[in-house]
């Protein structure tokens, strides 16, 4: 987004100001003269800025929401740093609430609320009234400071994030590894049966594990004649390997510059 300025008079026609004054002043300030201004610069530029801040906030909220979900007691794959003496719930002393991630998610809503105000500022009576001014005096510093705070909060979250690989492995293998159902489905299709039949077989065994106390998807498959008649023990074991899921992680790290 190009930074612009204007000194073009009350109506933008340079009636009392030479255009060179605008050009020289903008150059000294590191700006470009606005292509066609009125008394004010069109507020679509300001709206674009606010929308950009809101989008950055939405990305931070996306990360923070995932962290909050992964910190649930029954998941606990990652966890915000919890300092000694810090309190979680006032009623439940065992809780370790992800307060920074919750704060980021809440403030992202504040940023989005300003987008409407920024867009409403675009239409001005005769393209020159100052109804936008009162909004911008609050909106621009508030949005900028809020996003700055959110970025600092997320930085602290990432710096102190606890990661629990053992819990990740536990969750992936819950009910005997039902999350690997797609691999089993594709292996059965490759063995020569229709996708519909393969889906029926896999779904039956997965739901049986899910609906049974202590159910085990992999054990169900090993005991299913329709599966053992198509897949060898080694082929079935390959379906439950995490190697494929991790094989291309280096590509992602490289894209992220890690």
Q: Which pair of structure tokens corresponds to residue 177?
A: 């590894």
pLDDT at residue 173 tops 90: no
Evaluate whether residue 130 is within a structural domain: yes
pLDDT score, position 13: 83
108-156 pLDDT, tens per residue? 999 999 999 999 999 888 877 788 889 999 999 999 999 999 999 999 9
Q: How confident is the model at residue 58 (pLDDT cuts 50, 70, 90)?
A: very high
Q: Do 144 and 186 belong together in one domain?
A: no
Q: Do 60 and 159 belong together in one domain?
A: yes
Evaluate whether residue 39 is within a structural domain: no
pLDDT score, position 230: 94
Q: Do 73 and 145 belong together in one domain?
A: yes
Q: How confident is the model at residue 7 (pLDDT cuts 50, 70, 90)?
A: confident
pLDDT at residue 78 tops 90: yes
Evaluate whether residue 203 is within a structural domain: yes
| % of the chain with per-residue pLDDT over 70 | 99
Higher pLDDT, 40 or 203: 203
Q: Do 55 and 140 belong together in one domain?
A: yes
Of 137, 164, 191, the domain-final residue = 164
How many residues comprise the chain?
258
pLDDT at residue 202 tops 90: yes
Q: Do 62 and 159 belong together in one domain?
A: yes
Q: Do 116 and 208 belong together in one domain?
A: no
Q: Do 184 and 239 belong together in one domain?
A: yes
Query: How many domains does the structure of the chain reveal?
Result: 3
pLDDT score, position 90: 72
Evaluate whether residue 251 is within a structural domain: no
Q: How confident is the model at residue 38 (pLDDT cuts 50, 70, 90)?
A: confident
Mean pLDDT of the 61-70 span: 97
Long-range CB contacts for residues 238-247, cutoff 8 Å, separation at least 24: 238/183, 238/187, 239/180, 239/183, 239/184, 239/187, 240/177, 240/180, 240/183, 242/172, 244/183
Identify the domain containing residue 194 by its residue range: 173-246
Nearest Cα residue to 225 out of 246, 211, 204: 204
Q: Do 82 and 143 belong together in one domain?
A: yes
How far apart CA 141 and CA 46 sit, in angstroms, is 12
For residue 69, the domain's CATH number is 1.20.200.10
pLDDT at residue 201 tops 90: yes
């Amino acid at each position: 987004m190009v930074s612009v300025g204007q000194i073009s008079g009350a109506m933008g026609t340079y009636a009392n100001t030479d255009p060179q004054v605008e050009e020289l002043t903008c150059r000294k300030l590191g700006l470009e003269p606005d292509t066609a201004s009125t008394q004010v610069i069109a507020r679509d530029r300001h709206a674009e800025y606010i929308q950009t801040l809101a989008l950055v906030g939405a990305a931070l909220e996306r990360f923070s929401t995932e962290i909050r979900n992964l910190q649930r007691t029954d998941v606990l794959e990652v966890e915000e740093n919890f300092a000694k003496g810090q309190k979680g719930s006032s009623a439940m002393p065992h809780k370790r609430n992800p307060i920074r991630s919750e704060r980021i998610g809440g403030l992202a809503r504040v940023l989005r609320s300003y987008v409407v105000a920024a867009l409403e500022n675009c239409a001005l009576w005769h393209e020159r009234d100052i109804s936008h001014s009162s909004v911008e005096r609050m909106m621009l510093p508030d949005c900028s400071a809020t996003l700055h705070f959110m970025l600092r909060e997320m930085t602290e979250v990432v710096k102190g994030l606890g990661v629990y690989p053992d819990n990740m492995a536990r969750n992936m293998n819950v009910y005997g590894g039902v999350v690997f159902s797609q691999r089993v489905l594709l292996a059965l299709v490759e063995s020569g049966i229709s996708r519909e039949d393969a889906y029926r077989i896999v779904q039956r065994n997965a739901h049986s594990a899910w609906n049974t106390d202590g159910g085990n998807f992999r054990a169900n498959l090993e005991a299913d004649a329709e599966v053992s008649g198509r897949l060898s023990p080694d082929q079935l074991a390959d379906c439950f390997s995490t190697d494929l899921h991790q094989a291309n992680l280096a590509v992602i790290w490289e894209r992220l510059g890690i």
